[in-house]
Amino acid sequence: MNPRLLLMMLLLLPSLARAGDSTQTFTLKQAVEYAAQHNYAAQLALKNYEISRKQYMQYVSAGLPQVNGTLNYNWNIEPQVFLLPDFTNPSSGNFIQLQATPPTTVTTNLTASMIVVDGSYIYGVQAAKTYKELSLNQQESELQKIKQNVTRAYYNVLFIDKNIEVLTKTVENLDKLAFETEAYFKEGFREGLDVEQVVLNKDITVNTLNKLKTQRESALNMLKMSMGFPVDSVMNTSDSFESLDAEKPVDYMLDASTTFDPASNIDIKVLDRLYRVNRQNYQVEFSKAFPSLSAFFQWSYGGFNTDKKRAVLFSPGNTYYRGGTLLGATLNVPIFSSWGRVSSQQKIKLEAEKVQIQKAEAEENMKMAFKNIKAEYVNNLSTLANDRRNIDLAKKIQETNRTKFREGLIGSFELINSENQYLNALNAYYSTLFNLLQNRLDYDKLTNKL
């Protein structure tokens, strides 16, 4: 190999490796769009809808003309014979043998049939069409659940990121404070307990930060699974609470005149379709008690050969005959099924009534959830305003106590207490932002806005 070419390849290898490990970054919108295409549940929902379409076409085709053809070829190695008395000499008691079948025969049949009148078929087609629509609603419902799960997982990653950001800055400040306290101790301005207290608090904060980083990895893996993204591949998020306008009030959630119609929810639509399928299946079973009529047409043609050495197909000397043409109809009249049809009808009717009960329960739960979500959202907005004020107060107290600590006016316990107050205020603020986003997500899912 050319030495110069080999050198160029060696130089390119690191860059190729870095390209293979490149990180894919997703906004929330991109993550949801990716999940709609790659999530396993979304793919299964699409397949189920495609299956329902094929089932519908299969059911429709059952009532259309059916044409079948057969070709039978027989080679009688030892043809069957009939034994008959010897009519030429009846008194002899002898029998003569007559060959019952020729050595080779061929028969061709062409049969066409079609349903003329069948109530179960008519209602069955309607039920199959409704089932196809049900599968489409179920696919939409599954996509909404996927969007909700992906969005929730994305929010969780952002929430942990904020906590990591806060704790990282806190560790930096505590590390600096520990260095200053150690210096004051060496000069005799601080006690050893103050140094130990600051170091202890820093170590506890570092441990919490490490745990959060592990939790972030788990949360990111959960987001990957929700999206259908390869777990072994590298990805990251690019949105933040700020870019998602977490603090911005949502007008339609604050409008007191806004009402909720459960019929707009996709899950209620699914239950409506399911009820219609059961009702139509009931009509199918009920119509099976009525007569059905079908028509058929049959044409046959055959041939035979008496020469054992010749095949009947395309051989000279064959004797052919026309089998005949038949046109007819079949009337099927159900008389008695030992109450089998009645039991089947009652079973399907009960299934439909179950769906009605499930729908009524779901509607009441949704109405209650609608009120609760709006109330929680208003409460979280009010809490957010208090959280902002608490952050400002805690920050002011923290800075004041740091100054007093450096001047020797307070001890390490008062300082650590103010540091923890500030951390708690920040955590409460971001928790409220997280809850606001969750409220918005639940509201949009409930009102079919996802």
Q: At what angle do helices 119-187 and 266-287 cross, to 10 degrees?
A: 160
Is 329 found in the same domain as 283? no
Is 367 found in the same domain as 401? yes
Would you say 395 and 421 are in contact if contact means Cβ atoms under 8 Å apart? no
Reported as type and span, the H/E element at residue 326 is strand 319-332
Is 364 found in the same domain as 242? yes
Residue 13 forms part of a structural domain: no
The predicted-structure confidence for 147-191, as pLDDT tens digits, reads as follows: 999 999 999 999 999 999 999 999 998 898 888 888 878 877 677
Is 250 found in the same domain as 315? no
Find the mean pLDDT for residues 64-88: 82
β partners of residue 395: none
Residue 96 three-state SS: strand
- The structure's pTM equals 0.82
Of 318, 333, 348, the one marking the end of a domain is: 333
**Comparison of pLDDT for 301 and 35, the residue scoring more:** 35
Is 407 found in the same domain as 372? yes
User: Is 88's pLDDT higher than 80?
Assistant: no
Is 101 found in the same domain as 39? no
Residue 6 forms part of a structural domain: no
User: Is 402's pLDDT higher than 90?
Assistant: no
Q: What is the pLDDT of residue 17?
A: 44
Of the candidates 245, 247, 173, the residue with the CA atom closest to the CA atom of residue 395: 173
**Comparison of pLDDT for 2 and 306, the residue scoring more:** 306
Would you say 166 and 69 are in contact if contact means Cβ atoms under 8 Å apart? no
Per DSSP, the chain holds a count of helices (H) and strands (E) of 9, 8
Is 253 found in the same domain as 134? yes
Of 333, 351, 384, the one marking the end of a domain is: 333
Find the mean pLDDT for residues 336-361: 92
Is 251 found in the same domain as 180? yes
Half-sphere exposure of 395 (CA within 13 A, CB side): 8
Reported as type and span, the H/E element at residue 300 is strand 292-305
**DSSP 8-state symbol, 249:** P
Task: Find where tokens 């009524």 sit.
Answer: 360
Is 85 found in the same domain as 50? no
Is 304 found in the same domain as 224? no
The predicted-structure confidence for 203-217, as pLDDT tens digits, reads as follows: 999 999 999 999 999
Is 244 found in the same domain as 190? yes
Residue 87 forms part of a structural domain: yes
Burial track 259-295 (b if 16+ CB lie within 10 A, e otherwise): ebebeebbbbbbbbbbbbbbbbbbbbbbbbeeebebe
- What is the CATH number for 126? 1.20.1600.10
As for how many domains the chain has, the answer is 2
The predicted-structure confidence for 364-378, as pLDDT tens digits, reads as follows: 999 999 999 999 999
pLDDT grade for 320, boundaries at 50, 70 and 90 = low
Would you say 170 and 449 are in contact if contact means Cβ atoms under 8 Å apart? no
Give the domain range for residue 389.
25-63+118-290+339-446
Is 185 found in the same domain as 44? yes
